[in-house]
Amino acid sequence: MDTQKIIKLDANDKLAARRGLFNLPEGIIYLNGNSLGPLPFSVPQHLETVTNREWGEDLISSWNRHGWIDLPQRVGEKIAPLLGAEGGQVICCDSISLNLFKLLAGSLQLRPGRTRLLTQSDNFPTDLYVAQGLQQLLGDSRCQLESVEADQLAAVLSDDVAVMLLSHVNFRDGAMHDMAALTRMVHQRGALVIWDLAHSAGVMPLQLDAWNVDFAVGCGYKFLNGGPGAPAFAYVNRRHHEKFTQPLWGWMGHKAPFEFGNDFIAAEGVNQFLTGTPSILSLAALDAALDCFVELELNQLREKSLALGECFLELMEQQPALAEFVLVSPKEASRRGSQLSFAHPQAYAICRAWADAGVIADFRSPDLLRIGFSPLIVRFAEIEQAVLALAEVVRNGTFREARYQQRLKVT
């Protein structure tokens, strides 16, 4: 791929104007939006209003005057179109871990007599940990966790499986499941399915309603750009609203929380998913960040993210210095999410040295250099610059310096 082609790709980029919505540091190429999305300009502006006027001046009256109490639902309604979900099925609260616990426990109750919880062995660790914790809590007689390789899921799916828990896009290699096909397969066995959308929501079109998905979770701080620790979201298909119950009962999930009754009566629909008092500042930040997706065609996100990945691969092949990097992501673009992962024995040190050269990606243990493509912010010219910088880091060997070999607390 030559420079003229890259210039043309940027000139024809339908999403180019969206980059102006984000506060991006000068001289930095950011290829880590799949870990933490960049800061939209709208967020600090909105937070200033929420903190100084709503909290600072209107104090507790803001729960009513400025609608703080309804933020989990309002933010959920903004996320719903990104998931292909009609209103009233998405709520924003807590973390993926907490929401997974609620969904897993509730799903087991919806399938009495079935005890198996099926998942993928290289699923995101928190998904596995939550499932392991639930198994320990309930005991094997009520919950039996089984983890298998991705290509074994169909073979081990049987009539005693209650629920299958899968990540749509694998966090390590970016491999993407066929959500529609797997959901149909699970339903044919009478089981339920929970999808983790942490690495797909906000970067590709999804059709949860059309694909008949039962439940889903996702986070607000990756491609949704809601800030570090932004609240997660949960999707509960409307057909389950009357029967589904989640086990973490709290006052905000009560039908009438301000009646302060001693006995729990669940709120209707997805509102019962709330537990404690909503985190207003975090919700407000995510609320403002989601405006970046207004009037956006999600197909354009997918098209550009795949094009960025293909550009990166083609440019890498032109650099002999990068020959030792082994692509572990699916080579076929349509089978992966918005990322590429490469194995290299010095991946961690190279990632840190690359960052000092102005390109921020990330490392995943034990040996993966992971590159995320946020189509709202990344230019094709930056892909060329990033590959050239990576080749230079490898050629000059700076990554071998002791300062890059020492692991930081957050990798």
Structure tokens given for 85: 């979900």
pLDDT digit string, tens, across residues 19-47: 999 999 999 999 999 999 999 999 999 99
Residues 6+ apart with CB under 8 A from 11: none
CATH 3.40.640.10 domain range(s) in the chain? 47-293
pLDDT at 249 exceeding the cut of 90: yes
pLDDT digit string, tens, across residues 273-316: 999 999 999 999 999 999 999 999 999 999 999 999 999 999 99
pLDDT at 1 exceeding the cut of 90: no
CATH 3.90.1150.10 domain range(s) in the chain? 3-30+297-405
d(CA 366, CA 85): 37
**Mean pLDDT on 65-69:** 98
Query: Hey, what CATH class is 3-30+297-405 in?
Result: alpha beta
Structure tokens given for 150: 């991705």
Over pLDDT 70: what percentage of the chain?
100
pTM: 0.97
Which pLDDT value is given to residue 59?
A: 98
d(CA 120, CA 106): 20
pLDDT digit string, tens, across residues 82-123: 999 999 999 999 999 999 999 999 999 999 999 999 999 999
Catalytic residues: 124, 196, 221-222, 370
SS (H, E, C) the chain: CCHHHHHHHHHCCCCHHHHHHEECCCCCEECCCCCCCCEECHHHHHHHHHHHHHHCCCHHHHHHHCCHHHHHHHHHHHHHHHHCCCCCCEEECCCHHHHHHHHHHHHHHHCCCCCEEEEECCCCHHHHHHHHHHHHHHCCCCCEEEEECHHHHHHHCCCCEEEEEEECECCCCCEECCHHHHHHHHHHCCCEEEEECCCCCCCCCCCCCCCCCCEEEECCCCCCCCCCCCCCEEEECHHHCCCCCCCCCCHHHECCHHHCCCCCCECCHHHHHCCCCCCHHHHHHHHHHHHHHCCCCHHHHHHHHHHHHHHHHHHHHCCHHHCCCEECCCCCHHHECCEEEEECCCHHHHHHHHHHCCEECEEECCCEEEEECCCCCCCHHHHHHHHHHHHHHHHHCHHHCHHHHCCCCCC
pLDDT digit string, tens, across residues 113-153: 999 999 999 999 999 999 999 999 999 999 999 999 999 99
**Mean pLDDT on 310-325:** 98
Which pLDDT value is given to residue 73?
A: 98
pLDDT at 3 exceeding the cut of 90: no
| Topology annotation, domain 47-293 | Aspartate Aminotransferase; domain 2 (3.40.640)
Which pLDDT value is given to residue 157?
A: 96
pLDDT digit string, tens, across residues 167-215: 999 999 999 999 999 999 999 999 999 999 999 999 999 999 999 999 9
Which pLDDT value is given to residue 91?
A: 98
d(CA 292, CA 298): 12
